[in-house]
Amino acid sequence: MQQSGLLETEALGAAVTRWFLGDLLGVTSVAPAMMLALSRRDVRLQLPESGDYAPEPERLLWNIALTASYLLMAWGGSLGGHYALGLVALPLGILVWSAIRFPPLHTAAAIAVTMLLIAGLAGFGLAGYPAPQETREGVNLLAFLIVVAALPMILAFAMHQQRVTAAHLTQRATIDPLTGLANRNAFEERVRAELANPAAPPMALAYLDLDHLKLINDTASHVAGDALIRGVAGVVEASRHREDLLARTGGDEFALLLRNCTPMVAEDRVRVLLRAIEGYRCGWDGQMLGTTASAGLVAFQPGQGDYALLLSQADAACFTAKEQGGNRVCLASLDGGDLLDRTAAMRWVVRIRDALSSHSLELFCQSIVALRPDGDRGRHFEVLLRLRDPRTGELLHPAQFMPAAERFHLGARIDREVIGQTLAWLEANPTAAASVSTCCINLSGEALIDEAFFGFVAERLRRSSFPGDRLCFEVTETSAVRDLARAQRFITEMRGLGCRFALDDFGTGFCSFNYLRALDVDYFKIDGSFVRDMHASPLAEAVVRSINEIAHVLDKRSIAEHTETERDRQALIALGVDYVQGYAVDRPTPIADYFATPVPAA
C-alpha cells in the first residue's frame, strides 16, 4: 500500500500495528474454533458422568441467554452514548459460563461468532456503535476485543484440562490397567448398588481364579503371564452376557456378577466361560501358552446377603473347585453347606498367623520312657503344640487347627516356630537342657519339600548351645512315602547336622515294607490306634508285634504311642517294645512345668 501511494510513510507504524492486532484478533477469536473443528481428536474425550459437561437443557438455556445478550447489546448501542461498548460484558459473562460448563469447541465457536459480531458493529459503526476515527481508538478497540476473546478461551482449556485430569485419576482408581476391566473397588461399588435394589432380578456372583499361572510366570516370564491374563480377560469379556459385570480383582482372579439368572443358569454360563478360557491360546516367544480356571459361584436374591458374605462364599467355593482338580465350577449357598469347613479353616488360619506373629504358640512336653534297662539316660520327650483361644482362654489341641494349617500351607511356618521356641527355651534354661537326652519335634509333610527348611535348621543350630544330636524329628509315614526320594534326601541332610529321626504314626499307611530300607530313621512310632485295640483285636496286637520285630531286624527302636493304662504297658513289655508314650507314663504339661518335675520312671 505504501509502494502504491495509498499509505503515507508517517502512517506506516499505525497501520502495521492495526494490521497486527487485527490478525491477532483473528487468531484469538476464529482460529481456535477452526482448529478444534478440524481436529480429528475428540477434545471432549470420554469423561465419566461425574466430571462431564453440562446436559442438553442447560445448553439450550445458554443459547437463549447468549442470543438475548446480543439483542441487548444491539439495543443498548442503538440508544447511543459513549459507553455502549460496555454492553460487551453481557456476552462476555455468557462466554465465561460456556468456558466453565461446556466443551472447548462450543466455547470457541461462541467466541468466534461473538467477536465477529462485535467487531462488525464497532468497526463499521452499526447499531449505534461509533466507528473508531483515530488510530489510537482502533488499537484500543482491537486490544479490548483480543482480551475479551482470549480470556474465555484460556478458561475453557483450563477447565477442560482439569476435567481430563480428574477423568484420568478416576480411571486409574476404577479401571485395571492391565486388562482395561473394572477393578476390585469399582466392582464392589457396582455390586453393592445392585444389592441395595430390592426390585432387581435374581443374580449370582462368580469368582474365577486361573489354574497354575505360576508355572507360566516361572517358565516363560511374568511378562508372558501378564499377556496370558490380558488375553483371558478379553476372552471372558467377549463370552459373557451383555448385562453381566466383569472385573479383575487380583493377580489372576476375576469376579463376575451375573444378572437375571437362576443357580442352574448361572452355573451353565460360568461353564461356558471356563470352556472359552480352556480353549484360548496365547502366542509367546515361539510357544503357545494356555491355562484353565476354577470358579466359585453363589446365587442370591437382592438383599439376601451383603457383599462381603457373597464374596467370601464365592471365594471359598473357588478354593474348593481348585482342591478338586481345577477347571470346574463349585456352587455355594449362602447358608454355607459343605463350605462351612472351608470358612472355619480360614478363621483358623487367621488365628494361627496371629499366634505366629506374636510367638504365642504354647509348648507342652510328654515323656517317652524306656521299657528296657538299657534305655536312654536323661529326659526323652516329645514337644507338643497347643494354641490358646484368645476369646475363651481354651487350650486347643493340634487336631483342631493343624488340618487348616496344612490346607493353607502353614505347616512349615509352624515347624520353624516350634523349633525356634523350643531351642530358645532350652538355651535360656541350661540346667534343664543338660538333663535332655532326646527332644522329639514333629515335622509336617510341607517341611520335607521346603528347600529352605534345612538351611533354617542349620543356621538355628549353629547359633544354639543345644547340640543337634539331641534333637529327633518325627515325620509321619504317609508324608515320607509320598515322595520317598525327597524324604530320604531331607533326612540325610538333617542327619549331617547330628539330628535323629522317628517315623511317626507307623502302620497307618503302608502297603509294603520295601521303602523302610531307604529311610534312615532311628525310631518307629507304632500308631496309637493299634496300641489301644491290642486287648480287643488280635489283628491290632499282631500289627504291634510285627512292627516291633521289623524295627529290631532293621536295628531300630520301637515306641508305642497312646499307652493309656498299666495293662497296656505290661502287654508292650511282653511284646518287647522299647519305649512307651502316653497317659500310663504322664500327661502333656507346659514345658516349664515338665522340667520342674522328676524324670518319669519306666
pTM for the complete prediction? 0.57
Q: Are 495 and 472 in contact (CB under 8 A)?
A: no
Look-up of cell digits 459503526 = 125
> In this predicted structure, what is the pLDDT of residue 18?
58
CA 238 distance to own-chain centroid: 24
Judged against a pLDDT cut of 50, whether residue 2 lies above it is answered with no
For residue 126, pLDDT over 70 is answered with no
Q: Which residue has the higher pLDDT, 146 or 192?
A: 192
Place of cell 482491537: 142
173-194, pLDDT tens digit by residue? 788 889 989 999 899 998 998 8
CB-CB neighbours of 475 under 10 Å: 24
CA distance 381 to 365: 6
> pLDDT-based confidence at 595, cuts 50/70/90?
very high
Kindly tell me if the per-residue pLDDT of 590 is higher than 50.
yes
Higher pLDDT, 576 or 338: 576
Which residue type occupies 290? Answer: G
* Other Cβ atoms closer than 10 A to 406: 17
> Between 297 and 26, where is the model more confident?
297
Cell of 161: 484440562
pLDDT tier at 267 (50, 70, 90 boundaries)?
A: very high
Give the distance from CA 142 to its chain's centroid: 62
Distances (CA, A) of 443 to 266, 310, 382, 478, 504: 43, 37, 12, 12, 10
272 vs 261: CA distance, rounded Å: 14
Report the Cα 415 to chain-centroid distance in Å: 26
Please compute the mean of the pLDDT values over residues 249-269 and round it to a whole number.
Answer: 92
The pLDDT value recorded for residue 556 is 92
Q: Is the pLDDT of residue 257 over 90?
A: yes
pLDDT in tens, 10-51: 545 555 565 665 666 677 777 788 777 777 554 444 444 444
**What is the chain's mean pLDDT, rounded?**
84
